[in-house]
Amino acid sequence: MPGPPVPERQVRSIAVSRPGRAMIIDDTEPEPGPGQAWVATEWSGISAGTEVALVRGTDPQHQRGWDPDLRAFGISPVDRYPKRGLGYMEVGRVTESRTDVLAVGSLVAMAYGHRTGACADPTRTTVIPVPDDLDPLLGIYLAQMGPICVNGLLHAAAALGGPQAGIDAGVRAQHVLVVGAGVVGLLSALLAVRHGAAEVCVADSSAERRAVAEALGLVAVDDADGRAWLAIKQRWRHGPGDAGADVVLQCRGHDAALATALKALRPQGVVVDLGFYQAGAEAVRLGEEFHHNGLALICAQIGRVPRGMSATWPRPALAAVTLDLLRERGEDIRTHLVTDVVPFEDGPRLLTDMAERRLASPPLQAVLHFPLG
């Protein structure tokens, strides 16, 4: 027999009613029970890649359909609208608690979407404390976005040093190219610097984003003509027939970016791919550098750390590495990455404008601010 219905609380959240139409809707969350707490949202970061794809309807799940058991596309019904649950970079205040783990008044980072509040159960989901010495807005990077980037370094470490390698093993003393100067690319580049890379270059076609990379102290390479790979091979020459990056962190969801990444590698180099692709990869020619230089291509997504590392690297451990970076470079990140802070009520309009490419200067990192009370 089913149990009694779980009491619910009204919240407001952002959803997509149909492609191109984001809106605020009335929604519900479970009332906190024993061992749970209520978190009132203060900040929520927008993921320009993932969320804009959902607003446009160009993500693979809405095009081909995903079978979660066989983990394959094209054999299940496609996702349908409305689409709820946009967002994964939230910071909120604990206002009610029925657990000793979460004290009333504490600030936490979670991934529950652009909604005014959420029921937090620390036994079922990752809840990361936001320390008092950190700008609260920067907490948006602790629960998921930062761990995405740390996971990229872990995959490089596993590829070069095996499952027992430390996080530094993938970049320390290595020549690292980061393709894409979006938030994932810039945070990944800063992490590579912090963890001992010999040199880090960031390639992007946008002059504005290259300027941000340079403001962060990174070397920026123009990829507007798709020839950043040549500049990298000329910059990093290791010997006859051996030029290019040791590791590429590929952080754009475009096949041309992956083509640049593969061409920029030295023989037997590794591409760790953090991009969110929405289509095929016609620009990638596997019969060329990939084949002739014996290259490796690894997908690093936040759903899994490298095999053999899950016990050592749960999500809080990834968040701890992120926190170290934010403590060291937080002022620079706040100044140069966070370009737009808008009220929650303006979120649907901003997402729609981004999806329709209406903005003369698209946000690098947009953050929604939620009213108090």
| pLDDT at residue 301, as a whole number | 85
Q: What is the mean pLDDT of the segment spanning 40-52?
A: 94
**Domains in the chain, number:** 1
Residue 87 lies in a domain: no
Neighbouring residues of 306: CB distance < 8 A, sequence distance ≥ 6: 154, 155, 157, 158, 163
Q: What is the mean pLDDT of the segment spanning 230-239?
A: 98
Give the strand pairing for 265-273 and 296-299.
parallel
| pLDDT at residue 330, as a whole number | 98
Does 329 score more than 90 pLDDT? yes
Q: What is the mean pLDDT of the segment spanning 227-255?
A: 97
| pLDDT at residue 16, as a whole number | 95
Among 83, 91, 122, which Cα is nearest to 109's? 91
Residue 247 has phi, psi (to 5 degrees) of -135, 135
Does 79 score more than 90 pLDDT? no
CA distance 365 to 287: 37
| pLDDT at residue 358, as a whole number | 92
| pLDDT at residue 110, as a whole number | 98
Does 85 score more than 90 pLDDT? no
CA distances from 95 to 33, 91, 102 (A): 14, 13, 10
* pTM (2 d.p.): 0.95
Residue 76 lies in a domain: no
> What band does 363 get if pLDDT is binned at 50, 70 and 90?
very high
Contact 126, 141 (CB under 8 A): no
Residue 107 lies in a domain: no
Among 77, 81, 40, 39, which Cα is nearest to 57's? 81
Compute CA 359 distance to the chain's CA centroid, rounded to the nearest angstrom: 22
Residue 331 lies in a domain: no
Residue 339 lies in a domain: no
CATH of the domain at 270: 3.40.50.720
Say which residue the tokens 């950043």 belong to.
Answer: 228
The model's pLDDT over 1-16, given as tens digits with 9 standing for 90+, comes to 566 677 899 999 999 9
Partnered with residue 43 across adjacent β-strands are 91, 369
| pLDDT at residue 373, as a whole number | 58
CA distance 363 to 92: 23
> What band does 278 get if pLDDT is binned at 50, 70 and 90?
confident
The model's pLDDT over 196-213, given as tens digits with 9 standing for 90+, comes to 999 999 999 999 999 999
Q: What is the mean pLDDT of the segment spanning 175-202?
A: 98
Partnered with residue 73 across adjacent β-strands are 66
Task: State which amino acid sits at residue 243.
Answer: A
Partnered with residue 203 across adjacent β-strands are 179, 221
Helix (H, G, I), strand (E, B) or coil at 111: coil
Residue 222 lies in a domain: yes
Does 231 score more than 80 pLDDT? yes
Q: What is the mean pLDDT of the segment spanning 174-180?
A: 98
Q: What is the mean pLDDT of the chain?
A: 95
Q: What is the mean pLDDT of the segment spanning 19-36?
A: 95
Domain range spanning residue 294? 146-299
Among 152, 149, 170, which Cα is nearest to 161's? 170
Does 229 score more than 70 pLDDT? yes
Query: Among 92-96, 298-302, 311-315, 323-327, which stretch is predicted with the lowest mean pLDDT?
Result: 298-302
Q: What is the mean pLDDT of the segment spanning 109-137?
A: 97
Residue 269 lies in a domain: yes
The model's pLDDT over 138-160, given as tens digits with 9 standing for 90+, comes to 999 999 999 999 999 999 999 99
| pLDDT at residue 1, as a whole number | 57
Among 85, 80, 61, which Cα is nearest to 18's? 80
Residue 3 has phi, psi (to 5 degrees) of -75, 180
Residue 159 lies in a domain: yes
